[in-house]
Amino acid sequence: MAQIAMIVFGLGSLVCWIIMVVKIIQAGYTLQGVLGIICGLVAFIYGWMKADELGAKNIMLAWTGCIIGQIIFAVVGGAAQGRLAH
């Protein structure tokens, strides 16, 4: 179950990343957009820095939520795997 949740949150992160890279490039920040394609962390940080200017606060909140969800379910899944091993 945790793996399915991680996949769903991962797809959500992917969609948010693509939307933010497009918004960053459309706003004229081409270099940051290209760097965001190469390294998603750049798009995430720059997205939060420019969230109000780009009108993307909801997207950034969703992206952050997806990342937190992935971390939580990775921990839950790892704990379940550890219990099964004993």
Question: What is the count of structural domains for the chain?
Answer: 1
- Strands (DSSP E) found in the chain: none
Tell me if 12 is assigned to some domain: no
Tell me if 33 is assigned to some domain: yes
Tell me if 6 is assigned to some domain: no
State what percent of residues in the chain have pLDDT above 70.
Answer: 91
The residue segments making up the domain with residue 26 are 20-78
In sequence order, the 6+-apart residues with CB closer than 8 A to the CB of 24 are 32, 33, 36, 43, 46, 47, 50, 54
Radius of gyration of the chain measured on its C-alpha atoms: 15
pLDDT over 60 at 85, yes or no = no
Determine how many CB atoms are found less than 10 A away from the CB of residue 43.
Answer: 24
Listed range (38-42, 49-53, 70-74, 76-80) with the worst mean pLDDT:
76-80
What is the C-alpha separation between 45 and 21, in angstroms, rounded?
A: 11
- pTM (predicted TM-score): 0.86
For 2-39, the pLDDT digits (tens) are 789 899 999 999 999 999 999 999 999 999 999 999 99
